[in-house]
Structure 1
Amino acid sequence: MSAQGVTFINGAIESGASTLRIVGSRMASVGEGPEPGDVVIDLHDARLLPGLINAHDHLQLNNFGRLKYRSHYTAVGDWIADVAAYLQTNAQLKAFEAVPREQRVLLGGIKNLLSGVTTVAHHDPLYGCLISDAYPVSVVSQYGWSHSLLIDGEERVRRSYQATPAAWPWIIHAAEGIDETATAEFEQLDALGCIAQNTLIVHGIALKRVQRQRLIEAGAGLIWCPASNLHLFDHAAEVGDLIERGRVALGTDSRLSGSRDLLNELKVAREIAGLDDRTLQALVTTNSAQLLRLTDRGVLRAGAAADILVVPRMPLADASRADICLVMSRGKMLYADRHYAGALAPPSSWVEVSVDGRPKAMDRRLAMLWAQSGLQEPGLDVSAAGWRAA
């Protein structure tokens, strides 16, 4: 006798299937009908996707707004220096920085969850709160990283790469700028032995065609953050040749320079590169999973983690946070339209909230954490949540 599960029917799945069955935290089957005792959810032709993957964020930096102090930059070091200087003198920025890191990290998780993201690659130390069961999204935990050659220097970068298991991704900001120094960083990394099959360069604005070809030959990849790049440099990386080879994943960067969320980043990517919906979807699902070595994410197949996104029948880049019908992480409903929440979870486990003026449901424990943080996320209102009286 099979275990009780949840079966979604009449969904629009890219493979052409229309059903997906979940048991516990895993997908049990795709294209097969429900088993006796299953909860059956009729999607009425809505799109059923794997939870999205944000390939680059700094989860503790999303309470800041976008910062820059010149019309545009040529070198990222100038922007870093400007931000550091203003943090010393600007009272508002100092107040943002003074918010406890655990609260700021929670905001980063909420930002991602509300845009359909279930997995994030965090480009900083793996703080303990990020691997808590209470955290809103899954955070990549098997990775090596260095900030950049500018911040860490050649020897620390080399040691970081050498200490990273070959089966894990190694992630570094590089070629972030439009000057010769940014272009030369690729050659520095290559000379250090840091361009290999698990290397992921973040930004890569200054990469030349021959350098991108070297990335492809090495089996490495690029994490593309076009909104951040345009904001700071008025340029974004050339990615067409890398996309053709499946070597690009999409990331938001933090809100210090990047998009509000991954749905906005998809819109920017479509606008500047003319990418179709299938290609854009791959940048935040299958490509990201492959480059980040996430074998159970980014796909709808038996055995994969039950990370699920349901959106209306529209191009993904047209969707907004309010359009999202359902986000499940490891088989648990975290954010949804209220009728989905009512079908998937007992009333005691979720509360009513509002997102961009649209009534929604959110996991009760998550809503409690958010309300207690005292932070604000524009468009998210938990004031109607019933947990205070529970």
Structure 2
Amino acid sequence: MILNNVNTITGDGPVNISIKSGNTTADALQLTFDNALAFPGLVNSHDHLDFNLFPQLGNRFYNNYTEWGKHIQTNYKAEIAAVLKVPLALRVKWGIFKNLLCGVTTVVNHGEPLPVVNAPITVEQCHSIHSVQFEKRWKLKLNNPLKRKLPVVIHVGEGNDEQSNREIDTLISWNLLKKKLIGVHGVAMTAEQAKKFEAVIWCPESNYFLLNKTAAAGDLKNHTTILFGTDSTLTGSWNIWDHIRRARETNMLTDAELYGSLHSGESSNRQLDDDYKGSIVIVKKNETASSFDSFYATQPDNILLVVNNGEVRLFDNTMLDQLEQLDLKEFSKVFIGRTCKYVHGDLPGLMQQIKAYYPGAIFPVTAI
């Protein structure tokens, strides 16, 4: 596959990008763009794929996640029960499509292993522990010798009180096997504590919704790697670009650092090459804006193409003439606002199935 006349984040002008997939049809494609920006597919380092049919739940700011958890379990029982009527497999599929529609090509799910079959994007299942407060036998799970080489991903320091800060110290002190720790949220984390973590996954929109405060990413970045995550729609928008712009507004990371957090911590200077395994997103570029300004202004409706592992997974209707050789029976049509997208898989059918269990489900796309 050749992607002609595209701009890159660090490039000085349009370039052509070659992607090999091993798929004869895909490899033969020659696509030409006009005023387009190409970048590696986004990495959403923290999501709960089965929790993305929920509306945002909560009506005030909380001191920590345990206070929020107790509040919603008491005050939103009906809303929670309505969503949980949807079979797990269907909820997971929607969580995957939610990410694809935004140009995410790799999502890391937090929680128990989920049923994922033939997903159009890459789903990584990590060694997850929910948290110090909510996970039973978390100390044993943390120090499981059979998993000593696996990094542990855990919600930690999700609060703005002393309890949340002490929780981080408790986790560190019980890491007896000195396993690599990847903390999610880290709102209460200090720079000194950050030194004990391989990475911290920053979820600013979720943090502001729950706590009206987020992690001090500008300080923590000097002591650990900052990755980026959305969490689920329980605490944030379905659209990762809303989360990204919220992060940019804090000015805690430079444009290059924030961009890197969306690509597994890699520098924005890294080139689009085989290291990305053919996971590329092409979006419309503002002619007068810088590459970074165009990148951070992206919305799902101006995504032109999503390629994951060399395979076309989503494309805009304006690309149809150049993509007619694809098997269009494998794609379904949906609208984001007034723009028509072709999505790999039966998204309209999935939405219809979900509605049968949960008539109140609201989707950000309309189906044909």
Aligned to 2:219: 241
Alpha carbons 2:278, 2:309 under 8 Å: kept: yes
Aligned to 1:279: 257
Deviation at 1:342, TM superposition (A): 4.2
Aligned to 2:192: 210
Q: How many residues align?
A: 348
Relative to structure 1, the CA distance from residue 274 to residue 170 in structure 2 (aligned partners, 3 Å threshold; closer, same or farther) is closer
Deviations 1:104-143 (A, max 9, x none): 1122112111111111111111112x2x11x2421113x2
Deviation at 1:336, TM superposition (A): 1.3
Deviation at 1:190, TM superposition (A): 1.3
Deviations 1:338-369 (A, max 9, x none): 23344232443334321122122222544444
RMSD: 2.6
Alpha carbons 1:158, 1:192 under 8 Å: kept: no
Distance 1:252 1:182 in 2: 20
Alpha carbons 2:225, 2:265 under 8 Å: kept: yes
Match of residue 30, structure 2, among 35, 40, 61? 40
Deviation at 1:223, TM superposition (A): 0.4
Aligned to 1:74: 63
Match of residue 297, structure 2, among 293, 303, 318? 318
* TM-score between both structures, scaled by the size of structure 2: 0.86
Aligned to 1:173: 155
Distance 2:134 2:120 in 1: 30
**2:12 aligned with 1:13, yes or no?**
no
**2:55 aligned with 1:61, yes or no?**
no
Gap regions ≥5 residues in structure 1? 1-5, 27-36, 290-297, 384-390
**2:96 aligned with 1:112, yes or no?**
no
Gap regions ≥5 residues in structure 2? 286-292
Distance 1:380 1:124 in 2: 27
Deviation at 1:169, TM superposition (A): 3.0
Deviation at 1:197, TM superposition (A): 6.5
Distance 1:338 1:136 in 2: 18
Aligned to 2:289: none
Deviations 1:268-310 (A, max 9, x none): 1011235443222211114179xxxxxxxx9732254221111
Deviation at 1:266, TM superposition (A): 0.3
Alpha carbons 1:145, 1:161 under 8 Å: kept: no
Letter in 1 for 2:102: S
Deviation at 1:40, TM superposition (A): 1.5
Letter in 1 for 2:128: W
Relative to structure 1, the CA distance from residue 184 to residue 266 in structure 2 (aligned partners, 3 Å threshold; closer, same or farther) is same
Deviations 1:361-383 (A, max 9, x none): 22254444444443755331112
**2:2 aligned with 1:23, yes or no?**
no
- The SS at the match of 1:96 is helix
Aligned to 2:335: 354
Distance 1:156 1:104 in 2: 26
Alpha carbons 2:191, 2:220 under 8 Å: kept: no
Aligned to 1:124: 111
Relative to structure 1, the CA distance from residue 45 to residue 320 in structure 2 (aligned partners, 3 Å threshold; closer, same or farther) is same
Letter in 1 for 2:312: M
Aligned to 1:269: 247
Deviations 1:312-350 (A, max 9, x none): 225322111101111122222222112334423244333
- The SS at the match of 1:185 is helix
Aligned to 2:290: none
Alpha carbons 2:172, 2:196 under 8 Å: kept: no
Deviation at 1:180, TM superposition (A): 0.9
Distance 2:275 2:164 in 1: 42
Aligned to 1:332: 311
Match of residue 124, structure 2, among 125, 129, 140? 140
Letter in 1 for 2:255: D
Alpha carbons 1:148, 1:157 under 8 Å: kept: no
- The SS at the match of 1:54 is strand
Match of residue 49, structure 1, among 39, 46, 65? 39
* TM-score between both structures, scaled by the size of structure 1: 0.81
Letter in 1 for 2:107: V
Match of residue 302, structure 1, among 274, 281, 289? 274
Alpha carbons 1:51, 1:307 under 8 Å: kept: yes
Aligned to 1:222: 200
Relative to structure 1, the CA distance from residue 189 to residue 163 in structure 2 (aligned partners, 3 Å threshold; closer, same or farther) is same
Letter in 2 for 1:122: N
Q: What percent of counterpart residues are identical?
A: 26
**2:81 aligned with 1:94, yes or no?**
yes
Deviation at 1:22, TM superposition (A): 1.5
Distance 1:224 1:212 in 2: 13
